[in-house]
């Protein structure tokens, strides 16, 4: 069976240990400290938090995913779902949760996907930041009965909601008064998280401890991956590991995706070299092709030229004379507008003035498909 896991939360033996980060996060969770976890997409932030919580005896983690959240009602519903999902005896607590949220007029229904009972808010219900306090009252009540930590994942997306400033201020005010519960705010859009937690004008300025999650150290990660390849009797030389890390740009989840494809494209006792790596990359292209084509289809000619230039030349100085000449873009202002659009579409992001692709395999596909 393929031992490489990506695109999901992993714990235990499937988690590549990060001792320093685990210890830092453990101390925060055990002391009820509020923290912001900042790192690029797929660097393993969520798995890190789940694994740390798993190692703390008696700690219950409430994990609310706020990715692409649309409204305050949506925030409230996702928090309610997270509370219910964290309960081991879900059916027995449904009614008590519904009673606690009576001011929001909840309904008890069956989840069409799982068949389990769930609490939903009426479609006509419009929750205000003040109304959201009922959900935080419920969290606080459960925190009195159970050692609790709350993870608000992809928290930066809350900024897109109408009335976001009032909502963020309300959340900030509430968590200050819940000393027994550790709140963890995780986010993968760095500049948005920086604005929320480092900007002096933000309600969260100096309100939390900030932990940076970077790529895994190669030597440690290579040992972790090597144990899995050896268990399947695949032989991977150091040069191939170097190429794997380079192609995946050291992103832990992308490294595991490439290793998974290598596993599927190789046989027992096979030596993993350039041919196997190319077959694995082609396999990823075949799987992702429709999604990649959908990303480039709406781009203008100049936006596409800019994207090709970034793929070919890298993300340093994308308005330089060399970049403009190589990309066939006449004006630096045109390149800047195209770059801003690529950022808005979340195809690339700005990391310390170096623009990078969110998906390194998308970059390789651009190079292969468009030169």
pLDDT in tens, 213-267: 999 999 999 999 999 999 999 999 999 999 999 999 999 999 999 999 999 999 9
Q: Work out whether the CA dihedral 210, 212, 213, 219 comes out positive or negative.
A: negative
pLDDT at 43: 95
Are 27 and 167 contained in the same domain? yes
Q: Which of 227, 253, 288 is the last residue of a domain?
A: 288
Q: What mean pLDDT comes out for the span 330-351?
A: 93
Which of the pair, 259 or 191, is modelled with greater confidence?
259
Are 202 and 61 contained in the same domain? yes
Are 138 and 282 contained in the same domain? no
The predicted-structure confidence for 91-148, as pLDDT tens digits, reads as follows 668 888 888 898 888 898 888 887 788 899 887 778 888 889 999 999 999 999 899 9
Rounded to an integer, what is the distance from CA 242 to the centroid of its chain?
25
The CATH number given to whatever domain includes residue 360 is 1.10.10
Are 73 and 190 contained in the same domain? yes
Are 180 and 236 contained in the same domain? no
pLDDT at 113: 80
Q: Which of 148, 178, 212 is the last residue of a domain?
A: 212
pLDDT at 128: 85
The predicted-structure confidence for 11-61, as pLDDT tens digits, reads as follows 999 999 999 999 999 999 999 999 999 999 999 999 999 999 999 999 999
State the Cα–Cα distance between residues 247 and 258, nearest whole angstrom: 9
Average pLDDT, the chain: 93
What whole-number percentage of the chain has pLDDT above 70? 99
Are 241 and 364 contained in the same domain? no
Rounded to an integer, what is the distance from CA 334 to the centroid of its chain?
31
What is the helix (H) or strand (E) element at residue 62, kind and residue range?
strand 60-65
Q: What mean pLDDT comes out for the span 339-343?
A: 95
pLDDT at 285: 98
**Domain containing 74: what range?**
17-212
Are 71 and 178 contained in the same domain? yes
pLDDT at 117: 82
Is 204 part of a structural domain of the chain? Answer: yes
pLDDT at 127: 87
Q: What mean pLDDT comes out for the span 149-175?
A: 94
Question: Reduced to 3 states, what is the DSSP secondary structure of residue 35?
Answer: strand
What whole-number percentage of the chain has pLDDT above 90? 80
Which of the pair, 180 or 241, is modelled with greater confidence?
241
pTM for the complete prediction? 0.91
Strands (E), 111-245: 117-121, 148-153, 182-187, 209-212
Strands (E), 306-363: 348-351, 354-357
Which of the pair, 114 or 152, is modelled with greater confidence?
152
Are 274 and 312 contained in the same domain? no
Structural tokens at position 218: 């190669």
Is 12 part of a structural domain of the chain? Answer: no
pLDDT at 176 over 90: no
Are 168 and 107 contained in the same domain? yes
pLDDT at 342: 97
pLDDT at 112: 81
The CATH number given to whatever domain includes residue 24 is 3.40.50.300
State the Cα–Cα distance between residues 223 and 163, nearest whole angstrom: 48
pLDDT at 125: 73
pLDDT at 78: 96
- If you ran DSSP here, which 8-state letter would residue 159 be given? G
Q: Lowest mean pLDDT: which of 18-22, 82-86, 297-301?
A: 82-86
State the Cα–Cα distance between residues 22 and 55, nearest whole angstrom: 9
pLDDT at 353 over 80: no
CB atoms within 10 A of CB 12: 9
Q: Which of 212, 229, 262 is the last residue of a domain?
A: 212
- pLDDT confidence bin for 89, thresholds 50/70/90: low
pLDDT at 90: 65
Rounded to an integer, what is the distance from CA 285 to the centroid of its chain?
22
Is 10 part of a structural domain of the chain? Answer: no
State the Cα–Cα distance between residues 287 and 264, nearest whole angstrom: 13
CB atoms within 10 A of CB 48: 26
Q: Per-residue DSSP letters for 184-214?
A: EEEES-HHHHHHHHH-TTSTTTTTSEEEE--
């Amino acid at each position: 069976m393929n031992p490489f896991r990506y695109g999901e939360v992993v714990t235990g033996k499937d988690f590549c240990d990060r001792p320093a980060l685990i210890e830092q996060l453990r101390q925060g969770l055990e002391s009820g400290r509020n923290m912001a976890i900042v790192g690029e997409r797929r660097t393993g932030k969520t798995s890190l938090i789940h694994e740390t919580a798993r190692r703390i005896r008696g700690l219950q983690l409430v994990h609310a995913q706020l990715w692409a959240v649309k409204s305050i009602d949506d925030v409230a519903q996702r928090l309610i779902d997270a509370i219910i999902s964290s309960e081991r005896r879900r059916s027995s607590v449904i009614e008590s949760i519904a009673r606690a949220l009576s001011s929001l007029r909840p309904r008890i229904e069956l989840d069409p996907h799982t068949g389990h009972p769930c609490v939903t808010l009426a479609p006509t219900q419009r929750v205000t930041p003040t109304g959201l306090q009922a959900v935080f009252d419920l969290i606080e009540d459960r925190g009195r009965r159970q050692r609790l930590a709350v993870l608000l994942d992809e928290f930066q997306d809350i900024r897109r909601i109408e009335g976001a400033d009032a909502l963020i201020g309300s959340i900030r005010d509430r968590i200050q008064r819940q000393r027994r519960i550790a709140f963890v705010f995780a986010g993968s859009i760095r500049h948005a998280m920086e604005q929320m937690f480092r900007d002096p004008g933000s309600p969260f300025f100096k309100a939390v401890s900030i932990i940076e999650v970077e790529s895994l150290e190669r030597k440690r990660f290579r040992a972790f991956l090597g144990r899995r390849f050896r268990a399947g009797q695949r032989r991977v030389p150091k040069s191939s590991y170097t190429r794997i890390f380079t192609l995946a740009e050291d992103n832990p989840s992308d490294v595991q995706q490439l290793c998974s494809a290598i596993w599927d494209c190789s046989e027992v006792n096979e030596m993993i070299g350039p041919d196997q790596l190319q077959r694995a990359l082609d396999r990823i292209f075949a799987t992702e092709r429709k999604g990649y084509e959908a990303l480039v289809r709406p781009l203008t000619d100049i936006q596409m030229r800019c994207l090709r230039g970034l793929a070919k030349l890298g993300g340093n100085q994308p308005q330089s004379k060399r970049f403009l000449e190589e990309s066939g873009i006449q004006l630096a202002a045109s390149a800047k507008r195209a770059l801003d659009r690529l950022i808005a579409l979340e195809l690339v992001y700005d990391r310390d003035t170096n623009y990078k692709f969110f998906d390194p395999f998308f970059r390789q596909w651009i190079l292969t498909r468009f030169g």
